[in-house]
């Protein structure tokens, strides 16, 4: 995400939601909404001494124009150019209206009930449909896919025999992870991006498959939530399915994860304390929990 500002007669403004891959026309639209200077009448200056930005190709990317994070653009209105956009009553009103109508990427919180991954994926791939009862069907779907291809889903891949895995994943007290995300990415024919709040890293499942669609989840070490783009204080339905070429949404997801990391909204899976809900034994981290599950067959854990 680029940190950009512009200066115009009406004041100085931050330019949100732009990356080096954003188009010039997107930048001009943001400037027009904030300053009231229509795109057709804009003259943009950059650098020191200020130089004219070439506005001849609205499809050119900001990075190609030499616009970098930290830059401030000077906005002038060229009175010789025709104004085809409607006049804005006041610059302040335009600025406030634009900010209020700007979509933001946000976390949709789902229950921490061992099935948060399935609830989250169902929510995003179905375009914002929340169905807490979807997990058994999705678990069964994964089991059927795995059972139908024992060669691809062998014990070496699953960590247990094909049959054991199918029985395991159908249980409501088991957690999903990378294997299940990969399977559902193929089934739904979309890239599933999981942004980690501890490492501020995005794992993109199906990245090389050429899918046209992209959905996003946020992960704090033990819990998944879906991400959606919505307009604050609006009845407009949220957007959960994005173009696979939408790099802005990835940058926004990284910002969201970084903010959560700074607030320490993550769980260190190597240090967090658990209790086996079957025998009440205390455990530390996912490694001990995994070993305990192998030794006893107990898989129902609660965080202390």
Question: Are residues 221 and 207 located together in one domain of the fold?
Answer: yes
Mean pLDDT, residues 5-10 taken together: 88
pLDDT above 90 (res 150): yes
User: For the domain that residue 44 is a member of, what is the CATH number?
Assistant: 3.10.20.90
Q: Which member of 190, 193, 223, 225 is catalytic? A: 223
User: Residue 235 catalytic?
Assistant: no
Question: Are residues 98 and 75 located together in one domain of the fold?
Answer: yes
Question: Are residues 79 and 196 located together in one domain of the fold?
Answer: no
Which pLDDT score, from 0 to 100, does residue 26 have? 87
User: Residue 68 catalytic?
Assistant: no
pLDDT above 70 (res 230): yes
The total domain count for the chain is 3
Q: Is residue 47 part of a domain?
A: yes
Q: Is residue 29 part of a domain?
A: yes
Instruction: List the alpha helices (DSSP H) in 36-177.
Output: 91-101, 116-125, 135-147, 155-158, 162-169
Q: Within a 13 Å sphere around the CA of 14, how many CA atoms are in the beta-carbon half?
A: 8
Selected residue with higher pLDDT from 150 and 88? 150
Which pLDDT score, from 0 to 100, does residue 301 have? 52
Lowest mean pLDDT among 22-36, 82-96, 200-214, 233-247: 82-96
Lowest mean pLDDT among 76-80, 133-137, 296-300: 296-300
Question: Are residues 88 and 126 located together in one domain of the fold?
Answer: no
Q: Which member of 71, 203, 247, 298 is catalytic? A: 298
Q: Which range of residues forms the domain containing residue 86?
A: 4-102
Cβ neighbour number for residue 37 with a 10 Å cutoff: 26
- 285 confidence band (pLDDT: 50, 70, 90): low
Question: Are residues 286 and 141 located together in one domain of the fold?
Answer: no
pLDDT above 60 (res 99): no
Instruction: Answer for the pair 283, 258: CB distance below 8 angstroms, yes or no.
Output: no
Question: Are residues 11 and 140 located together in one domain of the fold?
Answer: no
CA dihedral 210, 153, 225, 111 (to 10 degrees): 150
pLDDT above 60 (res 267): no
User: Residue 193 catalytic?
Assistant: no
Which residue has tokens 């891949």? 157
Which pLDDT score, from 0 to 100, does residue 88 have? 41
Question: Are residues 60 and 201 located together in one domain of the fold?
Answer: no
* 282-284 sheet: strands from edge to edge: 282-284, 273-276, 301-303
Q: Which member of 116, 166, 190, 193 is catalytic? A: 116
Q: Is residue 141 part of a domain?
A: yes
Q: What angle do CA 159, 226, 218 make, to 5 degrees?
A: 65
User: Residue 134 catalytic?
Assistant: no
3-state secondary structure of 9: coil
Final residue of a structural domain among 81, 102, 123: 102
pLDDT above 60 (res 96): no
- pLDDT, averaged across the chain: 82
Which pLDDT score, from 0 to 100, does residue 271 have? 47
Final residue of a structural domain among 76, 102, 128: 102
Which pLDDT score, from 0 to 100, does residue 284 have? 66
Mean pLDDT, residues 103-131 taken together: 91
Question: Are residues 112 and 215 located together in one domain of the fold?
Answer: yes
Q: Is residue 202 part of a domain?
A: yes
3-state secondary structure of 274: strand
pLDDT above 50 (res 94): no
Question: Are residues 19 and 160 located together in one domain of the fold?
Answer: no
Which pLDDT score, from 0 to 100, does residue 139 have? 96
Q: Which member of 52, 78, 113, 258 is catalytic? A: 113
User: For the domain that residue 178 is a member of, what is the CATH number?
Assistant: 3.90.70.80
Distance CA 156, CA 72 (A): 54
Give the pTM: 0.59
Question: Are residues 214 and 236 located together in one domain of the fold?
Answer: yes
Question: Are residues 95 and 83 located together in one domain of the fold?
Answer: yes
Q: Is residue 58 part of a domain?
A: yes
Question: Are residues 177 and 237 located together in one domain of the fold?
Answer: yes
Q: Is residue 20 part of a domain?
A: yes
- 112 confidence band (pLDDT: 50, 70, 90): confident
């Amino acid at each position: 995400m680029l940190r950009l500002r512009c200066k115009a007669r009406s004041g100085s403004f931050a330019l949100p939601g732009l990356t080096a891959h954003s188009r010039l026309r997107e930048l001009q639209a943001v400037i027009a909404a904030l300053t009231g200077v229509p795109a057709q009448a804009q003259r943009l200056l950059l650098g020191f001494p200020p130089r004219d930005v070439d506005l001849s190709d609205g499809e050119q990317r900001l990075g190609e124009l030499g616009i970098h994070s930290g830059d401030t653009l000077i906005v002038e209105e060229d009175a010789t150019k025709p104004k085809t956009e409607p006049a804005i009553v006041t610059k302040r009103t335009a600025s406030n209206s634009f900010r209020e109508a700007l979509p933001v990427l946000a976390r949709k919180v789902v229950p921490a009930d061992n099935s948060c991954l399935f609830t989250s994926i169902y929510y995003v791939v179905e375009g914002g449909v929340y169905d807490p009862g979807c997990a058994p069907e999705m678990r069964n779907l994964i089991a059927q896919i795995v059972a139908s291809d024992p060669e691809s889903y062998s014990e070496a891949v699953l960590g247990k025999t094909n049959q054991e895995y199918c029985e395991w994943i159908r249980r409501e007290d088991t957690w999903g992870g990378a294997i299940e995300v990969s399977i559902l990415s193929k089934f739904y024919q979309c890239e599933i991006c999981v942004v980690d709040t501890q490492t501020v890293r995005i794992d993109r499942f199906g990245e090389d498959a050429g899918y046209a669609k992209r959905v996003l989840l946020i992960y704090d070490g033990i819990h998944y939530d879906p991400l959606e783009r919505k307009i604050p204080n609006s009845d407009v339905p949220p957007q959960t399915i994005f173009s696979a070429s939408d790099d802005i949404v990835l940058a926004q997801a990284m910002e969201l994860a970084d903010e959560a990391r700074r607030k320490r909204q993550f769980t260190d899976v190597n240090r967090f304390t658990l209790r086996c809900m079957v025998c009440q034994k205390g455990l530390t981290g996912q490694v001990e929990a995994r070993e305990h599950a192998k030794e006893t067959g107990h898989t129902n854990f609660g965080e202390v």
